[in-house]
Amino acid sequence: MTVIQADELKAFATELLRAGGFTHSDADQTADLLVWANLRGIDSHGVLRIPRYIEMIEQGVMISGGAVETIRETGAIVILDGGKCPGAVGMNTALERAAGLAAQHGVGWCSARAISHAGAVGYFSSALARRGLVGIVMTASKPLMSYFGAKGEGISTNPLSIAVPAGKGNEPILLDMSTAAVALGKVMAAKDAGKEIPLGWAVDRAGVQTTDPHKVAALLPMAGAKGSGLSLMIEVLVSVLAGNSVIAPVLLGRKKGGFNGLVIAVDPAAFGDSAAFEAEVAELKDAIHNLEPAEGVGSVLLPGEGSAKLSRIRHVEGISLVAGTVKNLIEVAQRFAIQIPSALAVSTRNA
The structural domains of the chain, ordered by start, are 1-65+315-351 (1.10.1530.10), 69-174+231-287 (3.30.1370.60), 181-220 (3.30.60.50)
Separation between Cα atoms, residue 227 and residue 35, nearest integer Å? 28
Instruction: Note whether 183 and 44 are within 8 A (CB).
Output: yes
Residues 40-93: pLDDT tens digits? 999 999 999 999 999 999 999 999 999 999 999 999 999 999 999 999 999 999
Taking all residues of the chain, what is their mean pLDDT, rounded to a whole number? 95
The residues, ordered by sequence, that sit 6+ positions from 77 with a Cβ below 8 Å of its Cβ are 101, 109, 110, 111
3 state SS of 304: coil
**pLDDT tier at 130, thresholds 50, 70, 90:** very high
pLDDT (0 to 100) of residue 183:
79
Separation between Cα atoms, residue 39 and residue 57, nearest integer Å? 25
pLDDT surpassing 70 at residue 347: no
Taking CA atoms, 242 is separated from 71, 76, 237, 317, in Å, by 10, 14, 8, 43
Choose among 343, 322, 324, 328: nearest CA to 7. 343
Least confident of 12-21, 124-133, 176-185, 260-269: 176-185
Separation between Cα atoms, residue 169 and residue 172, nearest integer Å? 9
pLDDT (0 to 100) of residue 349:
55
Residues 271-318: pLDDT tens digits? 999 999 999 999 999 999 999 999 999 999 999 999 999 999 999 999
* Alpha helix ranges (H) inside the chain: 6-19, 24-39, 50-59, 87-105, 122-129, 184-193, 225-235, 247-251, 274-289, 305-317, 323-335, 342-350
**pLDDT over 70 for what percent of the chain?**
99
Catalogue the active-site residues: 117
Say if pTM beats, i.e. exceeds, 0.75: yes
Element (H, E) at 174: strand 173-177
Residues 143-159: pLDDT tens digits? 999 999 888 899 999 99
How big is the chain by its Cα radius of gyration, in Å? Answer: 20
Instruction: Note whether 319 and 326 are within 8 A (CB).
Output: no
Choose among 245, 266, 226: nearest CA to 76. 266
Residues 325-340: pLDDT tens digits? 999 999 999 999 999 9
pLDDT (0 to 100) of residue 149:
87
